[in-house]
């Protein structure tokens, strides 16, 4: 458990979008944040993170811009677009429905 | 705007690949740096931290590919790959590339040029402010309205404005110490106010200052005139030029490349307000003065404009002096002003352009067939590869798309080639000097719509020439193709390529027959006997300044001029006349009812006529069949006399000699009993192709002589071009205000030969182009066919077939294709060339057997020639080597 390849397809996208709701972040910070919040259960490797980021960028859900970190390093910051925000909303709702349904089946079947 | 963003990214990853790659590398590098930073913060040494970060990161290249895949999940990505792949394939076959680009390029170039021509002539509005609101107006009965009619209509308020113009007059412009004839645009005072022609410098004249009643002396000149005649001098405005001996002040210069209101690319050099000085009969009731152009009010539709105008015309007619049906109140044309003035498209020009459009369309088809044939051959060579890819699971649609990309390349380069060829072609057409009395500025250019048309053609050409081969190539049955490796002994008999070649031969035969007809037409026209000698005469056009001469002084001057011309060494005889047949001054044509002595009362006659002086017929090389020529004594005091031609005698005198008899000819004040003193041989009057006309010549000395232009014709036994300078000098010395232009009769008649010459040159060269393209196609088909049969040929040769036999084999193949093509072509030509009859002179049939025979022989010879090389090559193979290739 906990390996990114085990994440259900599309879940990583959802997590990335969610991570970006508060403020723009660069790739490293996104991975770090997911790891922290999930209490180290979810570890995102670069090998899945960057393809996902670029896919979301190509789909127009997030947009990227070069900027500087607090420590003065340059990094590419990703920001949620309007479409991305809307997508996050529907995806979250769907995820909740799905997980609730899975929970129901696991408890009652 | 999500799609904009997405499109931008896609385009970026497609076209700015390097930048995107760099960006990714930078991003990954930054990630590693951040990781290093964290490890250092946790207490690692920088060296350890870097190693740990890199280890954790793993192989960068591995997932760089994953990232890249996200960029290319699109059609565009495929396209980019296909383009590169197709280009690699094409660039390995320079011959295919060159032939295709030339074929498509030439096809597109001629199509684009003809389109540009059609656009200039028929689709482009005149240069004017808000040209969409301009309307052509034509009253019934006459192309020109009288000055009175114009005034009534322009003050009626039915439209925002009604202006008039005409280009039928000439003025003498004093350039240095010699006068030159110009054809001015004579316009009503409000012309520039109504039409709003763009002015480059200075200003246009206004209705207030240019009223005819003021005898205005202002002029607006064209940009071309300002540059060529005034040296592009910016101080020219305010200066005067001498026209007809009076100074006219230049108030403005028009913008460059004005599309004149008259159409046909006519570019008048000077615009003058109408006046009695320029047109003495200006105010005469019913005298045709100007063509009308109107401007609709804001918001007024063409229909409303027509209604308002008709009502105004009817009101005005009621107020006219003679309210008989003058045709005033009825409109013939009321339509938006487009490329041509009187809206009704002049039949022959429009029809000729239609023929041209069809011809160039066919040429493009031949060109496409060439490219399609080449691609078919190429795909056939790749059968094995294609079959393999299909077998490995490539989708057919994907393969078709890939093969189509080759067509796209060819089309792209073809467009570039086409535009590169069309630009100089248009420049040549723009610069062509045509024997018209005023400058012609066709203004052909590669503007947006012309280039758009070319691009549209390219897309069609691309689909036509690449889609069929692509479909054909991917439709094959897999197993047999993979097995036989493309080396069959006997190929299929009737392949798509052969069908294409047959079509090409058929189409090019039709084109060639058309071309031959036009060339034969020119030959016919040139050999047509105009009825007078064109080889030994020179013509001086002498244009006097209006009002400078009285009748007597003018006649005296003409006499002096004639005497001096006769004194030039080599001149055999000289004569004066008011018109020269087959030029724009070909004289009048009259239809009237007259009384002929000894005949019934009131015979309706139609005849052409000019006023000629003594010795005219001898000078022109026409025969006097009976009676005599005019003499000096046939002047105002003497009995009115006339000379008729043989056709007149045949029609109205039943062939009996009319000399000595009298007929009543229409004169200024009623019928004038006129004695016929001679009969002369027939001659052409207006066009070379016309049926013989009856003619009545009047004595120059007896006519009213308000004609401002007199021609002096001189005859020599030697080369008439030797007469040009001396005639120009001796006549010009008489009065510098008089414009003298001397030409040989041949060049004076250039106008008459123009239509057949243009037709022969244009259609003839297009026909040759079609022939060359079709021959390239035939050559390709035959050589490809021969190369596919090499094994068969090798077997035959090793079994004892002779080289001659092999050559015969290949030639038989070629003659089958050419033969079927020509048979179809003849049938098609017989069916479709009928409308061309309108362009051919009398006596030349559209089914002219000589044209057909000549074309078929030419095509057969060219077909054999183009298949000879492949045949010869096939006969020289080494059968052992070919068979060992197994």
CA distance B304 to B308: 6
Q: Are the Cβ atoms of A47 and B71 closer than 8 angstroms? A: no
Q: Does A96 touch chain B (CB under 8 A)?
A: no
Q: Does A63 touch chain B (CB under 8 A)?
A: yes
Q: How far is A87 from chain B (nearest CA, A)?
A: 12
Non-local (6+) Cβ contacts of B192 within 8 A are B199, B204, B205, B206, B220, B271
| pLDDT on residue B509 | 87
Number of H helices, E strands in chain A: 4, 3
B737 with B835, same domain? no
What is the DSSP code string of B445-473?
---HHHHHHHHHHHHHHHHHHHHHHHHHH
In chain B, how many domains are there?
4
Q: Are the Cβ atoms of B26 and A50 closer than 8 angstroms? A: no
Could you give the angle at which helices B60-72 and A46-59 cross, rounded to 10 degrees?
20
pLDDT digits (tens, 9 = 90+) for A13-22: 888 999 999 8
Element (H, E) at B863: helix B849-875
Q: In B, which residues are within 8 Å of A73 by CB distance?
A: 30, 33-34, 37
Report, as an integer, the average pLDDT of B857-876: 83
Q: What percent of chain B has pLDDT over 70?
A: 87
| pLDDT on residue B188 | 94
| pLDDT on residue B198 | 92
Element (H, E) at B484: helix B478-484
CA distance B289 to B191: 14
Residue B155: burial class (beta carbons within 10 Å; 0-12, 13-18, 19+): exposed
Q: Are the Cβ atoms of A26 and B30 closer than 8 angstroms? A: yes
Q: Mapping DSSP to helix (H, G, I), strand (E, B) and coil, where does residue B66 land?
A: helix
Q: Has residue B733 been placed in a domain?
A: yes
Q: In A, which residues are within 8 Å of B57 by CB distance?
A: 46
| pLDDT on residue B711 | 92
| pLDDT on residue A2 | 38
- In sequence order, the β-bridge partners of residue B762 are none
Q: In B, which residues are within 8 Å of A75 by CB distance?
A: 27, 30-31, 34
Q: Which residue has the higher pLDDT, B243 or B97?
A: B243
The residue whose two tokens read 């129901």 is A104
Element (H, E) at B714: strand B709-716
Q: How far is A54 from chain B (nearest CA, A)?
A: 7
Q: Mapping DSSP to helix (H, G, I), strand (E, B) and coil, where does residue B770 land?
A: helix
For the cut 60, the answer to whether the pLDDT of residue B35 exceeds it is yes
The residue whose two tokens read 């996208």 is A13
Alpha carbon B617 to chain centroid, angstroms: 38
CA distance A34 to A17: 11
CA dihedral B458, B460, B462, B468 (to 10 degrees): -170
Non-local (6+) Cβ contacts of B153 within 8 A are B137, B145, B162, B292, B309, B312, B313, B316
Q: Average pLDDT, whole number, for chain B?
A: 81
CA distance B273 to B217: 8
Q: Are the Cβ atoms of A69 and B10 closer than 8 angstroms? A: no
B45 with B163, same domain? no
Q: Has residue B106 been placed in a domain?
A: no
Q: Are the Cβ atoms of B30 and A76 closer than 8 angstroms? A: yes
Which tokens in the block code for residue B731?
């006549």
Per DSSP, B122 falls in state I
Size of interface A-B (CB pairs under 8 A): 72
| pLDDT on residue B493 | 47
Strand B641-645 versus strand B670-680 pairing type: parallel
CA distance B17 to B15: 6
For the cut 60, the answer to whether the pLDDT of residue B339 exceeds it is no
Q: The domain containing residue B553 runs over which residues? A: 537-752
Report, as an integer, the average pLDDT of B769-790: 78
For the cut 50, the answer to whether the pLDDT of residue B323 exceeds it is no
B370 with B323, same domain? no
Q: Which of B19, B24, B65, B67 best tests the A interface by mutation, with the highest count of A CBs <10 A?
A: B67
User: Sign of dihedral through CA atoms B433, B436, B438, B440?
Assistant: negative
Q: How far is B57 from chain A (nearest CA, A)?
A: 7
Q: How far is A30 from chain B (nearest CA, A)?
A: 11
Q: How far is B36 from chain A (nearest CA, A)?
A: 11
Q: Are B509 and B694 in contact (CB under 8 A)?
A: no
- In sequence order, the β-bridge partners of residue B773 are none
B577 with B629, same domain? yes
Residue B494's pLDDT band, with cuts at 50, 70 and 90, is: low
Q: Which of A45, A48, A51, A78 best tests the B interface by mutation, with the highest count of B CBs <10 A?
A: A51
Q: Which residue has the higher pLDDT, A6 or B44?
A: B44
Q: Mapping DSSP to helix (H, G, I), strand (E, B) and coil, where does residue B57 land?
A: helix
CA angle A80, A82, A86 (to 5 degrees): 95
For the cut 50, the answer to whether the pLDDT of residue B492 exceeds it is no
For the cut 80, the answer to whether the pLDDT of residue B72 exceeds it is no
Q: In A, which residues are within 8 Å of B10 by CB distance?
A: 58
B760 with B880, same domain? yes
Q: How far is A39 from chain B (nearest CA, A)?
A: 18
B471 with B566, same domain? no
Q: Are B630 and B614 in contact (CB under 8 A)?
A: yes
CA distance A87 to B463: 40
Q: Are B242 and B170 in contact (CB under 8 A)?
A: no
For the cut 50, the answer to whether the pLDDT of residue B880 exceeds it is yes
| pLDDT on residue B61 | 62
B783 with B839, same domain? yes
Strand B185-187 versus strand B270-273 pairing type: parallel
Taking CA atoms, what residue in B is nearest to A68?
A: B30
Q: Are B569 and B761 in contact (CB under 8 A)?
A: no
Residue B342's pLDDT band, with cuts at 50, 70 and 90, is: very low
User: Sign of dihedral through CA atoms A18, A22, A24, A26?
Assistant: negative
Q: Which of A80, A6, A78 is nearest to A42 (CA)?
A: A6
Domain boundary among B704, B733, B752: B752
Nearest to A63 among B5, B34, B35 (CB): B5
Residue B490's pLDDT band, with cuts at 50, 70 and 90, is: very low
B546 with B679, same domain? yes
Q: Are B66 and A4 in contact (CB under 8 A)?
A: no
CA angle B23, B28, B32 (to 5 degrees): 145
B611 with B716, same domain? yes
Non-local (6+) Cβ contacts of B335 within 8 A are B135, B136, B302, B343
pLDDT digits (tens, 9 = 90+) for B790-814: 778 888 888 888 888 888 888 888 8
Taking CA atoms, what residue in A is nearest to B7?
A: A58
Q: Looking at this predicted complex, what is its ipTM?
A: 0.84
Q: In A, which residues are within 8 Å of B28 by CB distance?
A: 46, 50
B423 with B455, same domain? yes
Strand B218-221 versus strand B270-273 pairing type: antiparallel
Report, as an integer, the average pLDDT of B854-869: 84
Which tokens in the block code for residue A105?
């089946």
Domain boundary among B73, B96, B111: B73
User: Sign of dihedral through CA atoms B725, B726, B731, B735?
Assistant: positive
Q: Has residue B110 been placed in a domain?
A: no
| pLDDT on residue B616 | 95
pLDDT digits (tens, 9 = 90+) for B399-453: 787 778 877 788 788 878 888 888 888 888 887 777 676 777 777 877 888 888 8
For the cut 80, the answer to whether the pLDDT of residue B2 exceeds it is no
Q: Does A60 touch chain B (CB under 8 A)?
A: yes
CA distance B495 to B484: 18
Q: Are B516 and B771 in contact (CB under 8 A)?
A: no
Q: Mapping DSSP to helix (H, G, I), strand (E, B) and coil, where does residue B642 land?
A: strand
Phi and psi at B831, nearest 5°, equal -80, -40
Which tokens in the block code for residue B723?
């007469």
Q: Has residue B119 been placed in a domain?
A: no
The residue whose two tokens read 């070909």 is B586
Per DSSP, B596 falls in state B
Q: In B, which residues are within 8 Å of A27 by CB distance?
A: 27, 31
Q: Which of B383, B477, B382 is nearest to B92 (CA)?
A: B382
Say how many CA atoms lie within 13 Å of B73 toward its Cβ: 12
Q: Are B773 and B363 in contact (CB under 8 A)?
A: yes
Alpha carbon B276 to chain centroid, angstroms: 38
Q: In B, which residues are within 8 Å of A59 by CB distance?
A: 6
Q: Are the Cβ atoms of A28 and B58 closer than 8 angstroms? A: no
CA angle B662, B666, B670 (to 5 degrees): 105
Which tokens in the block code for residue B371?
């490219």
Residue B489's pLDDT band, with cuts at 50, 70 and 90, is: very low
Q: Are B490 and B792 in contact (CB under 8 A)?
A: yes
Q: How far is B51 from chain A (nearest CA, A)?
A: 16
Q: Has residue B448 been placed in a domain?
A: yes
Non-local (6+) Cβ contacts of B476 within 8 A are B383, B386, B387, B390
Q: Are B869 and B784 in contact (CB under 8 A)?
A: no
Could you give the angle at which helices A46-59 and A27-37 cross, rounded to 10 degrees?
110
Q: Has residue B105 been placed in a domain?
A: no
Which tokens in the block code for residue B575?
């004569």
pLDDT digits (tens, 9 = 90+) for B623-667: 999 999 999 888 888 889 999 999 999 988 888 888 988 888 877
Q: Has residue B322 been placed in a domain?
A: yes
Q: Does A4 touch chain B (CB under 8 A)?
A: no
Q: Mapping DSSP to helix (H, G, I), strand (E, B) and coil, where does residue B288 land?
A: coil
Domains and CATH numbers, chain A: 4-108 (1.10.10.10)
Among B200-204, B314-318, B814-818, which is the least confidently predicted range?
A: B314-318
Nearest to A47 among B26, B33, B62 (CB): B62
pLDDT digits (tens, 9 = 90+) for B254-290: 998 888 887 777 888 999 999 988 887 787 776 778 8
Q: Does B63 touch chain A (CB under 8 A)?
A: yes
Q: In A, which residues are within 8 Å of B55 by CB distance?
A: none
CA distance B215 to B546: 14
B69 with B153, same domain? no
Q: Which of B25, B29, B30, B76 best tests the A interface by mutation, with the highest count of A CBs <10 A?
A: B30
For the cut 70, the answer to whether the pLDDT of residue A80 exceeds it is yes
Q: How far is A45 from chain B (nearest CA, A)?
A: 8
Taking CA atoms, what residue in B is nearest to A45?
A: B57
CA distance B679 to B456: 62
For the cut 80, the answer to whether the pLDDT of residue B582 exceeds it is yes
| Residue A13 to residues A63, A83, B1, B278, Cα–Cα distance (Å) | 14, 14, 21, 86
Residue B483's pLDDT band, with cuts at 50, 70 and 90, is: low
Domain boundary among B691, B724, B752: B752
| pLDDT on residue B284 | 76
| pLDDT on residue B407 | 78
Q: Which of B304, B283, B305 is nearest to B294 (CA)?
A: B305
| pLDDT on residue B565 | 94
CA distance B510 to B508: 5
| pLDDT on residue B120 | 80
Q: How far is A21 from chain B (nearest CA, A)?
A: 18
Q: Quick one: three-class SS letters along B239-281?
A: CEEEECCEEEEEEEEECCCCCCCCCCCECCCEEEECCCCCCCC
B699 with B829, same domain? no
Q: Which of B543, B507, B532, B517 is nearest to B363 (CA)?
A: B507
Q: Which of B112, B76, B116 is nearest to B414 (CA)?
A: B112
Q: Are B12 and B19 in contact (CB under 8 A)?
A: yes
Which tokens in the block code for residue A107?
């408890």
Phi and psi at B432, nearest 5°, equal -60, 125
């Amino acid at each position: 458990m906990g390996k990114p390849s085990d994440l259900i397809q599309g879940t990583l996208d959802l997590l990335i979008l969610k991570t970006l709701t508060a403020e723009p972040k660069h790739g490293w910070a996104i991975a770090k944040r997911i790891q922290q919040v999930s209490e180290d259960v979810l570890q995102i490797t670069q090998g899945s993170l960057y393809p996902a980021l670029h896919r979301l960028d190509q789909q127009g859900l997030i947009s990227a811009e070069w900027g500087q970190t607090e420590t003065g390093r340059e990094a590419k910051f990703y920001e949620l677009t309007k479409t991305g925000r809307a997508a996050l909303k529907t995806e979250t709702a769907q995820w909740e429905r799905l997980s609730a349904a899975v929970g129901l089946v696991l408890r009652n079947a | 705007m999500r799609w904009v963003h997405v499109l931008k990214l896609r385009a970026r990853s497609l076209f700015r690949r390097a930048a995107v790659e760099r960006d990714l590398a930078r991003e990954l590098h930054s990630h590693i740096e951040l990781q290093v930073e964290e490890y250092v913060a946790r207490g690692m040494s920088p060296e350890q931290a870097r190693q740990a970060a890199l280890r954790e990161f793993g192989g960068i290249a591995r997932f760089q590919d994953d990232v890249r895949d996200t960029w290319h999940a699109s059609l565009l990505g495929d396209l980019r790959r296909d383009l590169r792949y197709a280009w690699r394939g094409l660039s390995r076959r320079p011959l295919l590339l060159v032939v295709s680009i030339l074929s498509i390029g030439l096809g597109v170039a001629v199509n684009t040029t003809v389109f540009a021509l059609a656009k200039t002539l028929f689709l482009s509005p005149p240069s004017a402010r808000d040209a969409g609101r301009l309307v052509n107006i034509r009253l019934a009965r006459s192309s020109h309205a009288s000055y009175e009619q114009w005034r009534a209509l322009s003050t009626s308020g039915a439209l925002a404005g009604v202006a008039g113009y005409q280009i039928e007059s000439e003025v003498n412009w004093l350039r240095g110490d010699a006068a030159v004839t110009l054809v001015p645009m004579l316009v009503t005072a409000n012309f520039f106010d109504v039409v709003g022609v763009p002015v480059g410098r200075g200003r246009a004249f206004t209705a207030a200052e240019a009223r005819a009643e003021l005898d205005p002396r202002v002029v607006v000149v064209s940009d071309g005139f300002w540059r060529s005649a005034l040296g592009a001098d910016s101080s020219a405005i305010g200066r005067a030029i001498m026209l007809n001996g009076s100074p006219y002040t230049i108030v403005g210069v028009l913008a460059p490349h004005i599309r004149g209101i008259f159409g046909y690319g006519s570019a008048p050099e000077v615009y003058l307000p109408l006046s009695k000085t320029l047109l003495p009969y200006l105010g005469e009731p019913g005298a045709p003065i100007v063509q009308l152009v109107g401007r609709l009010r804001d918001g007024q539709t063409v229909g409303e404009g027509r209604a308002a105008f008709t009502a105004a015309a009817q009101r005005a007619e009621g107020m006219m002096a003679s309210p008989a049906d003058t045709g005033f109140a009825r409109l013939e044309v009321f339509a938006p002003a487009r490329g041509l003035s009187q809206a009704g498209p002049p039949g022959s020009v429009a029809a000729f352009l239609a023929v041209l459009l069809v011809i160039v369309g066919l040429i493009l088809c031949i060109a496409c067939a060439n490219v399609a044939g080449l691609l078919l051959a190429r795909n056939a060579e790749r059968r094995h590869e294609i079959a393999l890819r299909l077998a490995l699971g490539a989708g057919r649609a994907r393969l078709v798309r890939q093969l189509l990309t080759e067509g796209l390349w060819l089309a792209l380069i073809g467009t570039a080639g086409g535009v590169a060829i069309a630009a100089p072609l248009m420049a040549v057409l723009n610069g062509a000097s045509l024997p018209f009395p005023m400058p012609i500025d066709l203004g052909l250019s590669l503007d947006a719509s012309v280039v758009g048309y070319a691009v549209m053609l390219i897309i069609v050409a691309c689909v036509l020439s690449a889609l069929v081969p692509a479909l054909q190539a991917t439709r094959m049955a897999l197993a047999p193709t993979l097995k036989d490796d493309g080396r069959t002994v006997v190929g299929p008999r009737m392949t798509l390529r052969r069908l294409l070649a047959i079509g090409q031969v058929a189409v090019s035969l039709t084109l060639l027959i058309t071309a031959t007809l036009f060339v034969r037409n020119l030959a016919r026209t040139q050999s047509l006997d105009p009825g007078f000698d064109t080889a030994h005469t020179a013509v001086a056009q002498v244009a006097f300044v209006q009002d400078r001469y009285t009748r007597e002084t003018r006649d005296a001057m003409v006499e002096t001029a004639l005497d001096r011309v006769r004194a030039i060494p080599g001149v055999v005889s000289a004569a004066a006349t008011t018109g020269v047949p087959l030029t724009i001054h070909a004289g009048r044509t009259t239809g009237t009812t007259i009384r002929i002595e000894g005949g019934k009362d009131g015979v309706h006659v139609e005849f052409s006529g000019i006023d000629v002086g003594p010795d005219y017929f001898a000078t022109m090389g026409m025969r006097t069949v009976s009676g005599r020529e005019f003499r000096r004594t046939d002047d105002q005091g003497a009995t009115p006399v006339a000379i008729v031609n043989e056709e007149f005698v045949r029609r109205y005198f039943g062939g009996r000699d009319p000399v000595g008899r009298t007929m009543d000819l229409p004169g200024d004040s009623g019928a004038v009993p006129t004695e016929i003193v001679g009969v002369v041989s027939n001659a052409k009057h207006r066009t070379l192709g016309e049926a013989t006309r009856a003619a009545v010549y009047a004595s120059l000395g007896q006519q009213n002589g308000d004609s401002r232009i007199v021609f002096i014709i001189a005859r020599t036994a030697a080369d008439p071009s030797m007469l040009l300078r001396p005639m120009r000098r001796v006549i010009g010395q008489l009065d510098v205000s008089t414009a003298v232009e001397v030409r040989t009769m041949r060049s004076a008649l250039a106008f008459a030969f123009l239509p057949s010459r243009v037709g022969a040159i244009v259609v003839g060269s297009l026909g040759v182009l079609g022939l060359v393209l079709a021959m390239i196609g035939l050559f390709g088909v035959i050589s490809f066919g021969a190369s596919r049969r090499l094994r068969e040929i090798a077997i035959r040769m090793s079994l004892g077939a002779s080289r001659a036999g092999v050559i015969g084999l290949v030639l038989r193949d070629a003659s089958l294709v050419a033969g079927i093509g020509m048979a179809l072509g003849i049938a098609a030509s017989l069916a479709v060339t009928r409308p061309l009859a309108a362009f051919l002179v009398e006596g030349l049939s559209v089914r002219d057997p000589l044209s057909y025979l000549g074309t078929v022989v030419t095509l057969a010879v060219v077909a054999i020639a183009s298949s000879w090389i492949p045949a010869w090559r096939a006969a020289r193979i080494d059968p052992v080597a070919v068979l060992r290739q197994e």
